[in-house]
C-alpha cells in the first residue's frame, strides 16, 4: 500500500496505541474517578492522560499542526484538583512518558484549536466515556484533515475483539485508514494485522444495524421506524463510541445510524472524523441523514450536517429513503 502520509501514520499509530494502554490501565482500577463537565457529561483521568499522550506526540513531530481536541486543562488548574492532576501525570509516566502535572496540562492544552485550517488534527481522547465507565466499548479517535478532506483516520478500540471470527481471541484493535491507500486493523498487543472490508449485504431486510447505547445521543425511536421500513426484524446492536464505525468497516454490522434527538444539536468533528475514513476506506459510504457528505471545513462542529448514516455502501440509497420516510 503506497502511503503519502507515512510519517504521520507512524507517529499517530504509536500515539494511539500508547493512549490505549493508558486507558486500559485506568480502567483496570476498580472505579475510575470522574469529573462532570459543564454539560454534565463525564470525563476521567484516562481522557486527560490519553489527550496528553497524543497531543505531545503530534506536537513533537509536527510542531505547526493545530489540534482540535475534545478536552482542555482549565478544570484541572484549580487548587483542589492537585491530586487528580498528579494521578494523570502518574498514568502518563506509567506508559513510559515521564511527566509532572504541569507538563501534562500543557500537553492537554495543545489540543486547544477550534477553527478550521488547511491542515489540522482532530482528537477524541476517549470517545464513549460513558462506555468506558461501564466497561463497554470506547475508542481513542484521531484524524488528520488536509484541505477539508480526512486523509488519515485512526480508531483505537481497546475492548473490541481483534477478529470477530475468534470471539475468544485477542482483544484490542486499532483501525488505521489512509485516503486512497486502504485500511488495516492491528492488534493492540501484538504485531498481528488484518485486512478488512465492509459487507456486501444489499437485501435491506438482512441489514444488521448498530447505534448508540445512549438514547440521548441518537433517536432509538426513529431507528426502530427505519428498521421497520427496511423490513429488518433483528434487534439493533447497541455499542458505545466510534467502535460502531469499526464494526461496519469490518462487515460485522452493515449500518450505523446516528439520528438527531433534538433540532440544533451540532455533532463534533472528533466524534466522527476517524471513523468516517475507516468506513470509507473499507468500501463503505458515510453521509448525514439528508445524504450530504460530512463537511469538515466548519471548525469543531459539523454545522452543515444533521446526524450520520454510515453503511456498507450497497444499501445506502435505500437506507436514506427510509430515513426520509421516517421524517428524521
Ligand atoms: N445530544 C447528543 N447527540 C449526539 N451526540 C452526543 C450528544 N451529546 C453528547 N454526544 C456525543 O456522543 C458521544 C458518544 O458517542 P456515542 O453516542 O456513539 O456512544 S455512547 O453510546 O453514548 O457511549 C460523546 O462523545 P464522548 O464525550 O467523547 O464520549 C459526545 O460527544
Ligand atoms: Mg466527552
Ligand atoms: Mg466523543
Ligand atoms: Mg471523548
Domain layout of the chain by residue ranges: 6-195, 204-325
pLDDT at 182 over 60: yes
The atom number, within ligand 1, closest to the CA of 136 reads 23
Q: Is the pLDDT of residue 30 over 70?
A: no
- Residue 130: pLDDT above 80? yes
Show the CA angle centred on residue 135, arms to residues 133 and 136, nearest 5°: 105
* Residues with active-site annotation: 47, 129
Q: Is the pLDDT of residue 1 over 60?
A: no
C-alpha Rg value of the chain to the nearest Å: 19
Spell out which residues have Cβ within 5 A of ligand 2, the ion. Answer: 41, 129
Does position 176 have pLDDT exceeding 70, yes or no?
A: yes
Report yes or no for ipTM above 0.85. Answer: yes
Question: What is the chain's mean pLDDT, rounded?
Answer: 96
CB-ligand 1 contact for 127 (6 Å cutoff): yes
Asked if the domains at 6-195 and 204-325 fall in one CATH topology, the answer is no
pTM for this entry: 0.97
Mean pLDDT value across residues 257-262 = 97
CATH class assigned to 6-195: alpha beta
Can you tell me the mean pLDDT for 290-303? 98
Cβ burial of 147 (10 Å; 0-12, 13-18, 19+) is exposed
Whether the pLDDT of residue 89 is over 70: the answer is yes
Q: How far is CA 307 from CA 122, 256, 271, 289, 302, in A?
A: 19, 11, 11, 6, 9
Domain spanning 204-325, CATH architecture: 3-Layer(aba) Sandwich (3.40)
Query: Ligand 1: which atom is nearest the Cα of residue 130?
Result: 23
| H or E, element range at 86 | helix 82-94
The whole-number average pLDDT for the span 125-153 is 97
Q: Enter the C-alpha cell of residue 205.
A: 431486510
Highest mean pLDDT among 39-43, 79-83, 144-148: 144-148
For residue 183, pLDDT over 80 is answered with yes
Q: How far apart are CA 239 and CA 131, in angstroms?
A: 8
| 131 Cβ below 6 A of ligand 1 | yes
Q: What pLDDT score was predicted for residue 29?
A: 79
- The mean pLDDT of 314-328, rounded to a whole number, is 97
Res 154: pLDDT:
99
Cα dihedral sign for 85, 91, 94, 99?
negative
Answer for the pair 82, 101: CB distance below 8 angstroms, yes or no: yes
Q: Binding site annotation covers 295? A: no
Judge contact between 136 and 147, C-beta under 8 A. Answer: no
Amino acid at each position: 500500500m503506497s502511503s503519502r502520509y507515512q510519517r504521520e501514520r507512524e507517529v499517530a499509530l504509536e500515539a494511539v496505541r500508547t493512549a490505549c494502554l493508558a486507558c486500559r490501565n485506568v480502567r483496570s482500577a476498580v472505579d475510575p474517578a470522574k469529573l462532570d463537565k459543564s454539560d454534565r457529561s463525564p470525563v476521567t483521568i484516562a481522557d486527560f492522560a490519553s489527550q496528553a499522550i497524543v497531543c505531545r506526540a503530534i506536537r513533537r513531530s509536527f510542531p505547526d499542526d493545530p489540534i482540535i481536541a475534545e478536552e482542555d486543562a482549565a478544570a484541572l488548574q484549580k487548587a483542589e484538583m492537585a491530586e487528580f492532576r498528579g494521578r494523570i501525570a502518574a498514568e502518563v509516566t506509567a506508559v513510559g512518558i515521564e511527566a509532572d502535572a504541569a507538563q501534562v496540562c500543557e500537553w492537554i492544552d495543545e489540543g486547544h484549536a477550534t477553527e478550521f485550517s488547511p491542515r489540522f488534527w482532530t482528537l477524541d481522547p476517549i470517545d464513549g466515556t460513558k462506555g468506558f465507565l461501564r466497561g463497554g466499548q470506547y475508542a481513542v479517535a484521531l484524524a488528520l484533515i488536509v484541505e477539508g478532506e480526512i486523509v488519515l483516520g485512526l480508531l483505537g478500540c481497546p475492548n473490541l475483539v481483534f477478529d470477530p471470527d475468534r470471539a475468544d481471541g485477542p482483544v484490542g484493535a486499532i483501525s488505521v485508514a489512509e485516503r486512497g491507500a486502504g485500511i488495516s486493523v492491528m492488534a493492540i498487543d501484538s504485531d498481528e494485522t488484518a485486512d478488512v472490508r465492509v459487507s456486501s449485504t444489499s437485501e435491506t431486510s438482512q441489514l444488521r444495524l448498530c447505534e448508540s447505547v445512549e438514547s440521548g445521543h441518537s433517536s432509538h425511536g426513529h431507528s426502530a421506524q427505519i428498521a421497520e421500513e427496511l423490513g429488518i426484524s433483528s434487534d439493533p446492536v447497541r455499542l458505545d463510541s466510534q467502535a460502531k464505525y469499526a464494526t461496519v468497516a469490518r462487515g460485522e454490522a452493515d449500518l450505523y445510524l446516528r439520528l438527531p434527538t433534538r433540532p440544533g444539536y451540532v455533532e463534533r468533528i472528533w466524534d466522527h472524523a476517524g471513523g468516517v475514513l475507516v468506513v470509507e476506506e473499507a468500501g463503505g459510504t458515510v453521509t448525514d441523514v439528508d445524504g450530504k457528505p460530512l463537511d469538515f471545513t466548519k471548525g469543531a462542529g459539523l454545522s452543515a450536517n444533521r446526524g450520520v448514516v454510515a453503511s456498507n455502501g450497497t444499501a445506502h440509497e435505500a437506507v436514506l429513503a427510509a430515513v426520509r420516510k421516517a421524517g428524521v
